[in-house]
Amino acid sequence: MRILITNDDGIHADGIKALTRVAKSLPNAEVVVVAPDREKSACGHGMTLHEPLRIKEATVEGCPGYMVNGLPVDCVNVGLTEVFSDHTCDLVLSGINNGPNLGFDITYSGTVAGAMEGCINGIPSLAISMASFVQDAPLHYETGERWLKENIAKIIALPTKPGTFLNLNIPAIAYEEIEGIQVVGMGKRVYEDRVERRDDPWGRPYYWQGGVVIVSPDEPGTDVYAVANHFVSLTPITLDWTDRTLLDSMQTYLK
């Protein structure tokens, strides 16, 4: 199995090292890492179009790797063009992200974008994140690595369909506290007071973007609820964002 690994935390991140070790444990795995040369979090499904992409060779956990001065989408495309040019990439893994990608987070996430780009190229793809809700709390990559080693073969063998990829969130807790896995839909995770205005020493305004995360952990059947209750969440994500129900009703209205 030929596996391409990427992330949005950069090629030197602890999460990508843990994921590489997991991928190496799969039978007959041939693993190549292509990741940003530095952190590119919250870049979404962006692509570099107006600057050249440059790559440097690297090694990640004994596997060949490449650092790219771009975004996760760029990394996947560079990997598929330069490393897997014979179109024999079997799996794209993106992560392990430094923090959750739950609910609406997936629209911002570079980690999810890496898996999305693999899916767009017709390759089974999986985004993986460690879900911690407390700032500066331990991310417990050891929990994620152990859980994945025991379960990733089952996850990547799940039946899917073209245009669908998987988003996995592992609670950042001790391994013994993991309650199991739930296949769930997206929950609600939004940001309040997203932009904060400040003034520099000369009185000129500038802005920090971020805000306080507001989650709804009381909705069973969602990724937010699952992780809040110590379950690993697995969500199939489709590339087709069309609201079919609304589409039908709008067509009826316009007749």
Does 204 map to a domain? Answer: no
- In the chain, the amino acid numbered 55 is I
Does 206 map to a domain? Answer: no
Residue 111, C-beta contacts closer than 8 angstroms, at least 6 positions apart: 7, 8, 9, 72, 94, 95, 97, 101, 127, 128, 129
Asked whether the beta carbons of 94 and 112 are under 8 A apart, the reply is: yes
Asked whether the beta carbons of 180 and 234 are under 8 A apart, the reply is: no
pLDDT in tens, 58-93: 999 999 999 999 999 999 999 999 999 888 999 999
pLDDT in tens, 100-157: 999 988 999 999 999 999 999 999 999 999 998 777 788 999 999 999 999 999 999 9
Does 202 map to a domain? Answer: no
Does 130 map to a domain? Answer: yes
Does 211 map to a domain? Answer: no
Does 235 map to a domain? Answer: yes
212 or 111: which leads in pLDDT: 111
Does 170 map to a domain? Answer: yes
Compute the distance between CA of residue 15 and CA of residue 131 in angstroms, rounded to an integer.
12
Q: Is the pLDDT of residue 203 over 70?
A: yes
- CATH at 247: 3.40.1210.10
In total, how many domains does the chain have? 1
**Domain of residue 71, residue span:** 2-186+218-254
3-state secondary structure 52-121: CCCEEEEEECCEEEEEECCCHHHHHHHHHHHHCCCCCCCEEEEEEEECCCCHHHHHCCHHHHHHHHHHHC
Residue 27, C-beta contacts closer than 8 angstroms, at least 6 positions apart: 1
Does 207 map to a domain? Answer: no
Confidence of residue 219 (pLDDT cuts 50, 70, 90): confident
